[in-house]
Structures are given as structure tokens and as C-alpha cells.
Amino acid sequence: MATSTFGTKPAAAPSAGSTLGPGITVEGEISGTDPLVVQGTVKGQVRVQNAVTVDAGAVVEADVEATELRVLGALAGNCVASERLEVAAAGRLIGNVRAPRIAIAEGAAFKGQIDMDVP
Amino acid sequence: MRHHISSQHTLEGTLRGSGDLVIAGTVRGDIVLEGSVHVLAGGSVEGDVQCASLIVEGRWSGNAHLSDLFSAHEGATARGTLSTIRIEVMPGAKLQLDVDMREPAAVAATSPPRTSAPAAVAVSPPSAAPVSAPAPASPAPTTATAAPDEEEEAVEDEAAADPGAADEAARDEGPKSSRKARR
């Protein structure tokens, strides 16, 4: 049961960026300019002009646009990273990717097309 | 677990799950959460919210079904319908809400559907909207006729106690009371 917040100073905003922790499912579109960390489930579309991290344990079924995309969990969808895309050893990525720089760690799972011809 | 939507993010869709959600950005869609939802100043939520506690410092509009607390801070704007157990509103909050406050025991026994008529109390209506109380479950036709009799009896009692005052009342109130007073 939550305690009353009457008369108390509002809680300070956490550091910049959004975090969708484990236990939450988002269906829809997330857009914006701050970094995004996904630890839960996202279905739909992600369009962020900043870094996006699909953390370990996360499940993302969405097309993702970001400046920098790191995949440590499971991501199914087409990805466009304007700067860099990285799939960590524990990451699983199914979809077509487009990015000027791509790193796929040994042990990672990947299925899709790679396009690094980004101006 | 704490979830956070930053001020520079917009989420259109539904959020479901557990944990506490802090919203500094914009959410357009429904939220179903086992924990609390905290809309910070500058944050905005347009959609139905079903959770334990809803704390609003920014803007919220929609229907809320809460199992614990609704809290509106100074500067908050809230519009819609609210079903909750506890409520707190701080000076400076702007509300346009239909509020239904339930008993905690009732929540434990049965969680009423969200479509149940919540309009029991209107808090800070923008215009002089009438406060509508739900109609009694069983009509009591005798109540309407009993009320005037009680009034007459009261006049009789008054007359018995102080005949002078009763005559005065009779002059003021017209022939009906006058007849009673003379009896």
C-alpha cells in the first residue's frame, strides 16, 4: 500500500532517459530524443533519436530506429541505427539491420540482412 | 521495479505489468499496473489507469480505478472519473473529476467492473454541476408522505410547549399551520 505523499516534496526525476523495467509490457509506439533502456517487453515501434538498449531478459518485437542500438536480450524487427549497432554475446536479433558500424559478438544469434551502406 | 518515461519520450499504446511507473513525458493510452503510477510535473497521461495508486503532479485525463490512493499535488490537472479508496488533494490542484470512493473491504471482496457508475461525488466541478447521489436501491413510497406529517407534528409539539409562539407561527405560516395550532 502506497503511503501518502501529502505535503512532501515531489520525487526528483531519475536520470535522463526512459527505463522500462522487467515486468512491464508496452504495446504501441515509443518515440523521443532521450536514451531508452528496455528490460521488459515492447511490441510495436520504437523511434528514438538517441541510444536504445535492449537489455538482458528483454523481449522486443518492434521495428527500431535509434542512433545507437545495443542488443543484449531478444529483438525481432527491422533495425536502423544511424551510428552503431551492437549485438552482445547473449543477444538474439532477428530482422534486417542497417547501420554504418555493426558489431556482433561471438555467441550472439542473428538472422537477417545487413546493410552498412549508410551515408 | 521502477519504470520511467523520460520528459523527452512519448508513448502511444498500452502499458501492462507490475512495478511502479514514473512518467515525466507523455503517455497516450491505457495503463494497467500492479504498482503505482506517478505523473511528474510536466508529464502527461491521456488514458485510463488501473493501478494501486495514482499520484499526479502534471496532467492526467481519463478513467482511473485505484485500489489504494489518488493524490493530486499543487499544479496538477486531473480530468475524468475516479474510483479509489483514499484521496488527497493539495491546494493548487485543478480537478474536474467524478469520484467514487469505495470501502477497502468492498475492494477486497469484489473488485467492481470499471463500467460501474462512479458518479457519486463531484469534486471541484467547473460549473455549478449538481452533485448527484445514486438513487436508493428500493423505493420507499411512505417516506414522501411521512415527511409532511412529521412537520405538522413538530408544529403541534411547539404549540403545546408555547401556545403564544404557536400563534405567532400560525400567523406567519398561513392557514394550515394556524388550523394545527388551534387544535
Whether residue B137 has pLDDT greater than 50: no
Q: Please tell me if residue B11 touches chain A, with a CB cutoff of 8 Å.
A: yes
> Is there a single domain that holds both residue B19 and residue B93?
yes
Domain containing B44 equals 2-123
| Residue where a domain terminates, one of B123, B149, B173 | B123
From B15, which residue of chain A is nearest by alpha-carbon distance?
A26
**pLDDT digits over B90-118, tens only?**
999 999 999 999 888 654 544 444 444 44
% residues pLDDT > 90 (chain B): 54
| Three-state helix/strand/coil letters over chain A | CCCCCCCCCCCCCCCCCEEECCCEEEEEEEEECCCEEECCEEEEEEEECCEEEECCCCEEEEEEEEEEEEECCEEECCEEEEEEEEECCCCEEECCEECCCEEECCCCEEECCEECCCC
pLDDT score of B145 more than 60:
no
B136 domain-assigned: no
Instruction: Inform me whether the C-beta atom of residue B16 falls under 8 Å from chain A C-beta atoms.
Output: yes
Per CB-CB distance under 8 Å, the chain A contacts of B12 are 28-29, 31
- Answer whether residue A82 is part of any domain: yes
- Give residue-wise pLDDT tens across range A53-93: 999 999 999 999 999 999 999 999 999 999 999 999 999 99
B71 vs A4, A14, A44: nearest CB:
A4
In a domain, B149, yes or no: yes
Amino acid identity, residue A51?
A
Gap between the Cα atoms of A67 and A86, Å rounded: 11
| Same-domain pairing of B28 and B114 | yes
> B50-59, B80-89, B121-130: which range is least confident on average?
B121-130
Structurally, how many domains does chain A consist of?
Answer: 1
* Residue-number span of the structural domain to which A102 is assigned: 18-115
Residue of A nearest to B37 (CA): A2
User: Is 0.90 surpassed by the pTM of this model?
Assistant: no
ipTM: 0.85
Alpha-carbon distance A72 to A54, whole Å? 6
Choose the mutation target among B12, B55, B56, B85 for the interface with A, i.e. most A CBs under 10 Å: B12
The answer, for B55 touching chain A at a CB cutoff of 8 Å, is yes
Q: Are residues B157 and B117 in the same domain?
A: no
User: Considering its fold, how many domains does chain B have in total?
Assistant: 2
Inter-chain contact B7–A13, Cβ cutoff 8 Å? yes
Q: What integer pLDDT is reported at residue B103 of this predicted model? A: 84
Residue A3 belongs to some domain of the structure: no
- Same domain flag for B86 and B162: no
Residues B12, A28: C-beta atoms closer than 8 Å? yes
* B135: amino acid identity, one letter: A
Kindly state whether residue B134 falls inside one of the protein's structural domains. no
* pLDDT tier, B149 (very low <50, low <70, confident <90, very high otherwise): very low
pLDDT tens digit sequence for A12-66: 444 579 999 999 999 999 999 999 999 999 999 999 999 999 999 999 999 999 9
- Whether residue B130 lies inside any domain: the answer is no
B171 and B178 in contact (C-beta within 8 Å)?
yes
Chain A / chain B CB contacts < 8 angstroms:
110
Q: pLDDT tens digits for B121-136?
A: 444 444 443 434 344 4
Residue A103 within a domain: yes
More confident residue, B163 or B83: B83
Q: Name which of B6, B22, B88 is nearest A6 (Cβ-Cβ).
A: B88
Contacts of A46 in chain B (CB under 8 A): none
